[in-house]
Structure 1
Amino acid sequence: MRSSSLARGASVMVISVGIAKVLGILYIVPLTALIGPAGLGIYSNAYALYAILLTLATSGFPTAMGKIISERLALKNYAEVAQIYRVTSRMLWVFAVVLSLLMWFGAPWYSALVALRDPGGASAYLVSSIRALAPAVLIVPTMSGMRGFLQGFQRLEPSGWSQAVEQLFRVVAIVAGAFLVVRVMHGSIAQGAAAATFGAFVGAAAGMILLTIAVVPLLREVRAKSGRRSSALSNREILRILYRIGLPVSLGALVVPISGIVDSVTVQNLLMSTGMSLSKATADYGILSRQAFQLIQLPLAFAMAIGASVLPSISRATALKDQRTIQSNVTGTIRSMFFMSIPIAASFLILGRPVDILLFHSTQGSLIISSVSFMGIFSSLELISTYMLQGLGKMYRPVRNMFIGVFVKLVLNIALIPHWHILGAALATVIGYLFSSTLNILAVRKYGKVRFSVWRLAMPLILASIPLCASLGVVSWLSYDAAHLLYGMDDRLVALTQILLSLLIGGIVYILSTIWMHAVTADELHRLPWVGGRLSRLASRLQGQAAS
């Protein structure tokens, strides 16, 4: 029953992450229509600061709390469980207040930093959006403590559903707020962006309510079981344990928001150094950060699900010194990741233009979407290999490698943006992920003592994706002319027809080519979340027929 409960909770987490990712992409479409690329740039600048402050306060604590609470529960030491929750909650509340004040009063300074050539204009655009996020900073750290508490009890379902609910309310509030300010109240783009960023508070409040309903009964149960017994741990000892476990996780989680800060500070300043206006630079940054990058995050939902399942398996095999299991887990997981990420990258590469037209009614971002398409492969490889290194007990190595990747991105931003403008920033990000993922893979080979070649693992799937690219291109071209005859000049319906038909035919071609060319086996397909069982059965039939 316990195993079944854990499996159900893990499934809920995977589904919730998938829902959150999809919602995180969908809301960009109406928001772009309401506030435009310039408004998206303002929104992205504010969120870059919000993400890094929030990561400082929250990222490692759920993991650390879950670990030490589960250990105390195993010993039935309920007094220490209650104390751990109390101490952590107080600390997170202090962090929340300090960071919220920092965000409110530091908004003008950060706004000026984003556009050094026009600090006054940047402040007029950006300050209100940053301050609209300050109330959310008061809530989210407390939510992270609640999720850590539930994780310690291995109650994954409330955490999973709260993420989905938080994202749903956030997306509704973002779109509704921007609509009310821009269309109903006829406010400015900057005011619409501020209303959109306030959606983070609405989503956090909704998630907090759901978590509170789950946590309060558990907390009462713990306090009742602890009775009058006192804890043997001091508050200082609890904080020391939390930081020892949570610090490497926090540092690893900091990389993504720091990468966002690097773009926020450098991209617009470098674009303006070429003579571009603040509004144009902000609009280009909005296309890059909230359109192209958001779409390319889609493979990470699959990588996260695969990585979360392989980490405990590699940890157990490492403890048992089971080298064969480590080898099979590493190579099988990387092949599964490539199976999902390569066709997604190919689809964005070929269909960048119709995707841009359908979602954003524009072709401004089509070249950027296509140019960053391979980022999904490298970012997924980085995430997967980070889980592997953590399973091998190397918590700080992926952190170091990710920061090297951010440094490479910073150097290339400076080198490429003056010549290639926003396309240079896109290429710098792809190459930065290439560096960090390569270093991670080298570390997995070294510390896992496994032998494999990423190139050899990827090559069969790359070859299988060639028919996919050909079918995507041909079907897109043919359906473009056919759709124009049906719908006339309605560009969005034409783009939708192109995408649906191309993905339908291309998906069938890719699955059949990978199976027929033995690029994947039935066992490897079975590892995939959601669709693995059906693809595995299909592979068994087709490969069995080919063998006979």
Structure 2
Amino acid sequence: MSDSKLLRGTMILTAATFISKILGLIYIFPFSAIVGQQGLALYAYGYLPYTVILSLATMGVPLAVSKFVAKYNALGDYYTGRRLFRSGMVVMSITGFIAFLMLFFMAPVLATLIIRDPSELQGNSMDDIIFSIRMVSTALIIVPIMSVIRGYFQGFQSMGPTAISQVVEQIVRIIFILSLTFLIVGVYQGGIGLAVGFATFGAFVGALGGLAVLLVYWFKRKELLNRQMSESTIDHQIPLKSMYRELISYALPLSFVGLAIPLYQLIDLFTFNNALIASGVRQEEAEVAFGVFSQSAHKLILIPVALATAFSITLVPTITKSFINGDEDLLRSQITQTYQIILFLTIPAAVGLSILSFPAFGVLFGLGDVEIGGSILRYYAPIAIFFSLFAVSAAILQGMNKQKYAVIGLLVALIVKLLSNYLAIYSLGALGGVLTTYLGYTISIAINVWAIGKFANYNYRFIVKRLILISIFVAIMAFVVVIIKHVLELVFPMTNWTNTLIVLIPSIASGGLAYFFLTVRSHLAGQILGQRFSFLRWKKKRTEAQ
């Protein structure tokens, strides 16, 4: 794939992912205002098991199908990809329905694992937890089918259908969630459990919207796709059994690696509340902390991670092509390009969010839970860098057919997280869960980085130099933000929402301007992002002209 095609696909998915993440962040504010942090915890009780079951049902299908189709398209065989598409639609319909039945009937068992002895006076009841899990399970009937269609389009390096369907799916889901919860709680004075249950059902409604978009794209492009298939220069005539064996060899590692964040959260789901309650914390307080940890703070952190997610999607087919063609120079260039952008964008975002954790949480989620929310966010925010590096490094290994190393790293990390999480939370409170997440991701990233260096013959010297320079600029930015924040707090104590907003906005602006000025004046921004934003290179061009 040409660099321009890589950039185009990346920019489309980046824009869509950012829009989706921002919408997912924005809706949390009114949603949390309606149901509270305990309501967010209840939402997580349903949504996290659904996410894991969904990944098992789809088995990494979008990326696996994308990789499979891209491989055979590059060989001039469009027919094999179409056969996989047709068969995959049938298989995913069946596995999706089976997954729905599993989650629906497992709901009572999962509920007892989340909170072993719930107190209905202080926290969410067992019936509320079961209801939320069962309502979200319905989405499993539709989402697996979408995964096949998205993967097929991505195999043609067409990212538009995936991007647009993701945004539409999110918009439909959010409108449904906010409308229903407001009506249930605000108008009809219904319970939080009923409102959150219908909120989780929004996953099904949103999936209908996303599927409608994909079907529109399919019927618009069907004639072109059929013509490409008829013009295929070769037909490998691979039996379905062999085809699925190859697909599963891609899909199992892809599915497992794609489950990284949900699996970490699943471990927290089954240990967080129980560990805090065992240490003497009331259920209500434990659920508030879990709501912050798994939803509020987590949503904020995922914004800078959105870029890494977009890159991980586009990298698999492009790196696969470079790897198959034996173009090592292009492969290393793609790796360098990706690492630079991830570090350039996520490090300042994560550090800034950590410094401004209290005013950011107070403005976005209210001052009622700002102490626990700001405290968790302060220490949890830098995990965005780890999430991003893991997503990108795992995607690179997948593209090189070395995904087993990403799987090994993740397995080791999850075992460490599982063995240490309960004790860490029991001893350190909510921050224990943060600590074990850092520990696990450090292990995974170390293994991924080593494997890339070994099998891509990649030298990290240049990236280390870039990291040092970016870190220096971020340190200066952080100093500016701390000073501005401290001065503003002296004049505007953060005792009400307005003062907190006055502290937050100038602090963000000063940090952003400082980092922008330093990186543009040093030409770092132009060297990393110049191909995307030509204005970043104008000073360099003017200097060269003189």
Fold-level similarity (TM above 0.5): yes
Closer/same/farther in 2, CA of residues 521 and 541 from structure 1, 3 Å limit: farther
Q: Which amino acid aligns with 2:179?
A: A
- 1:78–1:223 CA contact under 8 A, matched in 2: no
**Which 10-residue stretch deviates more, 65-74 or 8-17?**
65-74
2:174 to 171, 188, 192: 171
Query: Per-residue deviation at 1:446?
Result: 1.9
**Which 10-residue stretch deviates more, 324-333 or 295-304?**
324-333
1:180 is aligned to 2:180: no
Equivalents in 2 of 1:9, 1:388: separation in Å? 16
**Which 10-residue stretch deviates more, 16-25 or 430-439?**
430-439
Matching residue of 1:63: 63
| SS, match of residue 297 in structure 1 | helix
Closer/same/farther in 2, CA of residues 307 and 219 from structure 1, 3 Å limit: closer
- 1:311–1:391 CA contact under 8 A, matched in 2: yes
Query: Per-residue deviation at 1:399?
Result: 1.9
| SS, match of residue 396 in structure 1 | helix
- 1:111–1:119 CA contact under 8 A, matched in 2: no
Equivalents in 1 of 2:156, 2:351: separation in Å? 42
Matching residue of 1:105: 105
| CA shift digits 1:81-128 (9 cap, x unpaired) | 554333111111111111111111110110001112339965223011
1:533 is aligned to 2:534: yes
2:216 to 206, 213, 232: 213
Name stretches of at least 5 consecutive residues in structure 1 with no aligned partner. Answer: none
Q: Which amino acid aligns with 1:290?
A: Q
Matching residue of 1:474: 483
Q: Which amino acid aligns with 1:41?
A: A
- 2:44–2:291 CA contact under 8 A, matched in 1: yes
Query: Per-residue deviation at 1:490?
Result: 7.9
Matching residue of 2:360: 355
1:304 is aligned to 2:312: no
Equivalents in 2 of 1:288, 1:271: separation in Å? 13
Equivalents in 2 of 1:490, 1:16: separation in Å? 37
| CA shift digits 1:174-227 (9 cap, x unpaired) | 222221111112122211211211111111111111111222454577679989
Closer/same/farther in 2, CA of residues 237 and 439 from structure 1, 3 Å limit: closer
Q: Which amino acid aligns with 2:126?
A: S
| CA shift digits 1:427-463 (9 cap, x unpaired) | 2212222221122112222222223256544222222
**Which 10-residue stretch deviates more, 351-360 or 22-31?**
22-31
Closer/same/farther in 2, CA of residues 56 and 342 from structure 1, 3 Å limit: same
1:73-472 pair list within 5 angstroms: 80-118=80-118, 122-219=125-222, 232-307=237-312, 314-315=319-320, 318-319=323-324, 325-362=330-367, 363=370, 364-453=372-461, 456-472=465-481
Query: Per-residue deviation at 1:307?
Result: 4.8
Query: Per-residue deviation at 1:253?
Result: 1.2
Query: Per-residue deviation at 1:62?
Result: 2.2
Q: Which amino acid aligns with 2:469?
A: P
Closer/same/farther in 2, CA of residues 316 and 195 from structure 1, 3 Å limit: closer
Query: Per-residue deviation at 1:403?
Result: 2.5
Closer/same/farther in 2, CA of residues 144 and 478 from structure 1, 3 Å limit: same
Closer/same/farther in 2, CA of residues 3 and 327 from structure 1, 3 Å limit: closer
Closer/same/farther in 2, CA of residues 108 and 477 from structure 1, 3 Å limit: same
Query: Per-residue deviation at 1:233?
Result: 4.5
Equivalents in 2 of 1:147, 1:317: separation in Å? 22
Matching residue of 1:523: 527
- 1:81–1:222 CA contact under 8 A, matched in 2: no
Q: Which amino acid aligns with 2:48?
A: A
Equivalents in 2 of 1:471, 1:71: separation in Å? 49
Closer/same/farther in 2, CA of residues 411 and 67 from structure 1, 3 Å limit: closer
Task: Provide the identity percentage.
Answer: 28
Q: Which amino acid aligns with 1:403?
A: L
Q: Which amino acid aligns with 2:498?
A: L
- 2:58–2:96 CA contact under 8 A, matched in 1: no
Matching residue of 1:22: 22
Equivalents in 2 of 1:178, 1:342: separation in Å? 36
| SS, match of residue 259 in structure 2 | helix
Closer/same/farther in 2, CA of residues 305 and 88 from structure 1, 3 Å limit: closer
Q: Which amino acid aligns with 1:25?
A: L
- 2:67–2:320 CA contact under 8 A, matched in 1: no
Matching residue of 1:52: 52
| CA shift digits 1:229-253 (9 cap, x unpaired) | x994444333323223322211211
- 1:385–1:437 CA contact under 8 A, matched in 2: yes
Name stretches of at least 5 consecutive residues in structure 2 with no aligned partner. Answer: none
Closer/same/farther in 2, CA of residues 90 and 404 from structure 1, 3 Å limit: same
Equivalents in 2 of 1:376, 1:256: separation in Å? 11
Q: Which amino acid aligns with 2:262?
A: P
Query: Per-residue deviation at 1:475?
Result: 1.6
- 1:112–1:122 CA contact under 8 A, matched in 2: no
Closer/same/farther in 2, CA of residues 138 and 319 from structure 1, 3 Å limit: closer
When normalised by structure 2's length, the TM-score is 0.88
- 2:107–2:130 CA contact under 8 A, matched in 1: yes
Equivalents in 2 of 1:154, 1:349: separation in Å? 36
Matching residue of 2:507: 502
Equivalents in 1 of 2:17, 2:289: separation in Å? 28
**Which 10-residue stretch deviates more, 67-76 or 35-44?**
67-76
- 2:128–2:197 CA contact under 8 A, matched in 1: no
- 1:303–1:383 CA contact under 8 A, matched in 2: yes
Equivalents in 2 of 1:416, 1:75: separation in Å? 52
Matching residue of 1:13: 13
- 1:177–1:199 CA contact under 8 A, matched in 2: no
- 1:114–1:122 CA contact under 8 A, matched in 2: no
Query: Per-residue deviation at 1:411?
Result: 3.0
Closer/same/farther in 2, CA of residues 83 and 219 from structure 1, 3 Å limit: farther
- 2:119–2:283 CA contact under 8 A, matched in 1: no
**Which 10-residue stretch deviates more, 434-443 or 299-308?**
299-308
Query: Per-residue deviation at 1:304?
Result: 3.1
1:37 is aligned to 2:45: no
Closer/same/farther in 2, CA of residues 437 and 537 from structure 1, 3 Å limit: farther
Aligned residues: 536
Equivalents in 2 of 1:80, 1:325: separation in Å? 27
Closer/same/farther in 2, CA of residues 521 and 24 from structure 1, 3 Å limit: closer
| SS, match of residue 217 in structure 2 | helix
| SS, match of residue 379 in structure 1 | helix
